[in-house]
C-alpha cells in the first residue's frame, strides 16, 4: 500500500470516528434535559407557557421524564396554536390578548409502593375567564407505571358508601362556602363516582403511610364555575376495606391537617 493510500485510509477512519462521536453527542444533547430540569417556560406576544415540578420528583426519574416530556410537548403545541389563532384574529382586525397555560405539578405524598402527583393546570385562550383543571397520577414504584384508579381498589369492591360519603362532603363544603345549607341535586349537577375521579394521596400522621384520598374537582365538575374547584378528603379509615390488598398496608393512621383553603 502506498504512503498516500495509507494516509487516505487513516483520514477516512478518523473522519468516521469523529462523525460517530458527533452523532452520539447530538443524541445525548437533549435526552438528559428532562432528567434534571424541574421547569420549562416560553413567552412571546402570542402566549406564555410554564411547566414546573417540585425537586422531589427527581427521585422518580421514569415518572419525571414522562411528565416533563409530555408537558413540554403540550405547551409547545399550545404556543404554536396561539400564534396561528392570533394571526387569524389580527387579520380580521382584532387585537387578541396573549394566551396563557401553566402546568404545576405537586408531589403530596408517597408510601412504600405508591407515589402521588397531581397537576394544577391554568389555561386562558381569550375567553371570558381562565380555566382550571387537574391531572392526577398514582405511580406504582414497583412496576414504574401509572396505576389505573380502579386498580387501587379491590376487584369487585362496592364503592357506593364511599360515593355517598364523597357527595355529602361536597355538599358540606358548598354549604360552608355559600353560608347556607344546600344539596348536590339543587345545583343541577350529579354526585360524582369515586372510581371516575382524579385522586391524590394525603400523607398520614403515621410515618410512611397514606392517611386519606384527596379527590380533585375542577370548576364545572360538580358545580358551576363561580364555585371554583373542590378538593375533598376521604380519610383512609372510610375506604380502607375497599383498597386492593396489594396496597392495603400503605394506608394507616389519620390524614395530616389541612393547611390551606381549597377554594382559595
Taking only the tens place, the pLDDT of each residue in 160-210 is 999 999 999 999 999 999 999 999 999 999 999 999 999 999 999 999 999
The pLDDT of residue 18 is above 80: no
> What sign results for the dihedral spanned by CA atoms 144, 236, 160, 135?
negative
pTM of the model: 0.83
The pLDDT of residue 81 is above 80: yes
Q: Assign 127 a pLDDT band (cuts: 50, 70, 90).
A: confident
Task: Tell me the three state secondary structure of residue 122.
Answer: strand
What are the CA-CA distances from residue 260 to residues 31, 99, 169, 227, 231 (Å)?
Answer: 37, 28, 17, 17, 11
User: On the CB side of 31, how many CA atoms lie within 13 Å of its CA?
Assistant: 6
- Write down all domains in the chain, each with its CATH number in brackets: 33-141 (3.30.565.40), 149-250 (3.90.640.20)
Taking only the tens place, the pLDDT of each residue in 26-57 is 333 344 566 789 999 999 999 999 999 999 99
Q: What is the rounded average pLDDT for all residues in the chain?
A: 88
Return the pLDDT at 229: 96
Taking only the tens place, the pLDDT of each residue in 221-241 is 999 999 999 999 999 999 999
Amino acid at each position: 500500500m502506498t504512503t498516500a493510500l495509507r494516509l487516505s485510509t487513516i483520514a477516512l477512519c478518523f473522519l468516521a470516528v469523529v462523525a460517530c462521536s458527533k452523532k452520539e453527542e447530538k443524541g445525548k444533547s437533549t435526552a438528559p434535559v428532562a432528567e434534571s430540569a424541574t421547569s420549562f417556560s416560553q413567552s412571546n406576544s402570542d402566549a406564555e407557557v410554564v411547566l414546573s415540578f417540585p425537586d422531589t420528583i427527581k427521585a422518580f426519574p421514569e415518572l419525571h421524564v414522562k411528565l416533563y416530556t409530555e408537558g413540554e410537548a403540550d405547551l409547545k403545541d399550545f404556543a404554536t396554536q396561539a400564534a396561528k389563532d392570533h394571526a387569524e384574529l389580527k387579520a380580521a382586525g382584532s387585537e387578541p390578548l396573549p394566551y396563557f397555560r401553566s402546568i404545576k405539578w405537586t408531589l403530596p405524598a408517597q408510601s412504600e409502593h405508591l407515589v402521588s402527583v397531581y397537576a394544577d393546570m391554568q389555561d386562558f385562550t381569550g375567553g371570558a375567564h381562565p380555566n382550571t383543571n387537574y391531572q392526577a397520577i398514582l405511580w406504582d414504584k414497583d412496576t414504574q407505571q401509572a396505576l389505573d384508579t380502579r386498580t387501587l381498589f379491590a376487584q369487585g369492591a362496592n364503592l357506593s358508601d364511599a360515593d355517598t360519603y364523597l357527595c355529602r362532603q361536597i355538599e358540606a363544603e358548598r354549604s360552608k362556602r355559600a353560608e347556607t345549607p344546600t344539596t348536590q341535586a339543587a345545583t343541577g349537577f350529579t354526585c360524582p363516582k369515586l372510581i371516575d375521579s382524579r385522586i391524590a394521596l394525603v400523607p398520614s400522621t403515621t410515618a410512611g403511610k397514606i392517611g386519606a384520598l384527596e379527590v380533585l374537582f375542577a370548576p364545572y365538575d360538580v358545580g358551576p364555575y363561580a364555585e371554583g374547584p373542590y378538593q375533598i378528603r376521604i380519610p383512609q379509615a372510610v375506604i380502607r376495606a375497599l383498597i386492593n390488598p396489594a396496597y392495603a398496608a400503605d394506608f394507616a393512621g389519620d390524614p395530616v391537617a389541612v393547611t390551606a383553603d381549597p377554594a382559595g
